[in-house]
Structure 1
């Protein structure tokens, strides 16, 4: 332990912790053994953390002693995660257990990047990492539908710009005014405004009008349109018509007999004076041509 790392008051504080039995002194040159780091009081954790960070800088990464020092720092500083997570208790997205887990990721990043030579308190260094990780969690999980990160960030910028311009202009700003203020194209503004609709989702059981609140009105689900299965058939027939015109008279006759009059291949063969096998080959050849033509049209 270096004198520059732990001052006299902190050394006295650590001595008190050791005397209280919460921390068992290690052998010479070793870190003290802490049975349950999570139970260390925040005030004591502050002094002990400096000792563990001091040793973490000289320990070889990957060794058991290094892992012990790192894991102890994580558990000992969980109070910082709980403090930061408390600010997001009423955000309405994700339970507190999820927020604490995400905050711990920020704590781990702070521990791995902390440098004692910066002469900055670890608490001051770690809290922004923890808060940043929690904010990122809310940004990525609070949207009702998946929206690219770029548009999520644009939504925030648009909201600020709209509020500013509404105050200055005393009316809602236009797309052009928003694009000029933000220095982006009007298409990007429109894309951001459309993406904003993905932040929240309305229920299909919501009434379509105020009258619906009495229970007798229609919901959005009642009036929501759906794909007509017959539309695809109509589109296929439109695509097929010019291809049928390209067939010769005999081929069109075979198609009419097979699919229009629903005759069997044997009946068609008898009509044309050929075998059923020959009719089968002709039909396969015609259908292959028509299918290939429709695929090209698509």
Structure 2
């Protein structure tokens, strides 16, 4: 789910729960007091009112204006829980807390729809895990630039914590064997986790290749795009020669000699004919036949 989808979903759910204006004109809806702005209610008062509203929500018929009013008011009264839970992810939000609050609101709505007073637990204790779970799911599904397995996502977090601990203890960056020994994993698993962590964020190719120039607005140094490798035009030739080598070994001695003289020593067909005691036309037919044999061997599908 993207942040835009989360925002729209949360807005649609809250909007659908609003009662009709004529229903709100009465001082009471479905046996519940009319609250003009539920978002301004203090958290201590919201806890008491939430019990009242949950009690009525369970007996009201779903889809009626009274049921919609009770559900919507519960959402607005408990938005402080979303802001509290979202605050724990402030450092990971990249400066945009609005998306996190919107995602957390979806978790709050799920908690309200599933809460029952018979559980004999405070709604806050029941709702916070739903809210934080929704936010964590959002980070897991949307913040990685490259999708990696859940196991490696979790390993990245453990690696970061272990690195931070060992840097303090060793006063230097820990090595892969040290990380493996500390975490009880193999060196291959640690290496896999470090490589996977590179997929968490994608950098721009216009960033300076030298980290010391990253903070300069008009750095004249080379960017990553400048040092990025391109296709090597000679690579195809290397691949062709690799395939051609065993095919040349299948030729007889005379055919290999002709190929060597024509393409290795760059002799003309007339010189080859004189060397072998045959005509230039015969040399041309032999070369054409040998090349057809080599080409057919190179294009055979395995």
Q: Secondary structure at the match of 2:154?
A: helix
Aligned length: 245
CA contact (8 A) 2:39 2:79 kept: no
Residue equivalent to 1:25: 28
Residue equivalent to 2:100: 99
CA contact (8 A) 1:161 1:178 kept: yes
Call closer, same or farther: CA 1:71–1:181 in 2, change over 3 Å: same
Deviation at 1:191, TM superposition (A): 0.8
CA contact (8 A) 1:22 1:40 kept: no
Residue equivalent to 2:231: 227
Partner Cα separation in structure 2 for residue 52 and residue 161 of structure 1: 46
Partner Cα separation in structure 1 for residue 213 and residue 94 of structure 2: 31
Deviation at 1:187, TM superposition (A): 1.0
Residue equivalent to 1:267: none
Structure 2, unaligned runs of 5 or more:
1-23, 255-280, 283-291
CA contact (8 A) 1:85 1:103 kept: yes
- The worse-fitting range, judged by mean Cα deviation, of 154-163 and 210-219 is 210-219
CA contact (8 A) 2:106 2:134 kept: yes
1:206 matches 2:208: yes
Q: Aligned ranges for residues 127-142 of structure 1 at < 5 Å?
A: 127-142=128-143
Q: Aligned ranges for residues 103-118 of structure 1 at < 5 Å?
A: 103-118=104-119
1:143 matches 2:147: no
CA contact (8 A) 2:79 2:105 kept: yes
Partner Cα separation in structure 1 for residue 168 and residue 39 of structure 2: 51
Call closer, same or farther: CA 1:292–1:55 in 2, change over 3 Å: farther
Q: Aligned ranges for residues 266-277 of structure 1 at < 5 Å?
A: none
Partner Cα separation in structure 2 for residue 54 and residue 218 of structure 1: 66
Q: Aligned ranges for residues 187-266 of structure 1 at < 5 Å?
A: 187-204=188-205, 205-208=207-210, 210=212, 215-236=219-240, 238-240=242-244, 242-243=246-247
Call closer, same or farther: CA 1:120–1:217 in 2, change over 3 Å: same
Structure 1, unaligned runs of 5 or more:
1-20, 250-270, 273-284
Measured on the aligned residues, the alpha-carbon RMSD in Å equals: 4.3
Residue equivalent to 1:4: none
- Normalised by the length of structure 2, the TM-score is 0.61
- Normalised by the length of structure 1, the TM-score is 0.62
Deviation at 1:193, TM superposition (A): 1.6
Deviation at 1:134, TM superposition (A): 2.4
Partner Cα separation in structure 2 for residue 191 and residue 243 of structure 1: 40
Note the alpha carbon deviations across 1:235-280, whole angstroms, 9 max, x for none: 245425645876999xxxxxxxxxxxxxxxxxxxxx99xxxxxxxx
Partner Cα separation in structure 2 for residue 136 and residue 24 of structure 1: 41
Deviation at 1:152, TM superposition (A): 1.8
Note the alpha carbon deviations across 1:104-130, whole angstroms, 9 max, x for none: 121023223323234332234323432
CA contact (8 A) 2:208 2:221 kept: no
Q: Secondary structure at the match of 2:231?
A: coil
Residue equivalent to 2:178: 177
Deviation at 1:151, TM superposition (A): 1.4
Note the alpha carbon deviations across 1:178-205, whole angstroms, 9 max, x for none: 2233222221111112222233444333
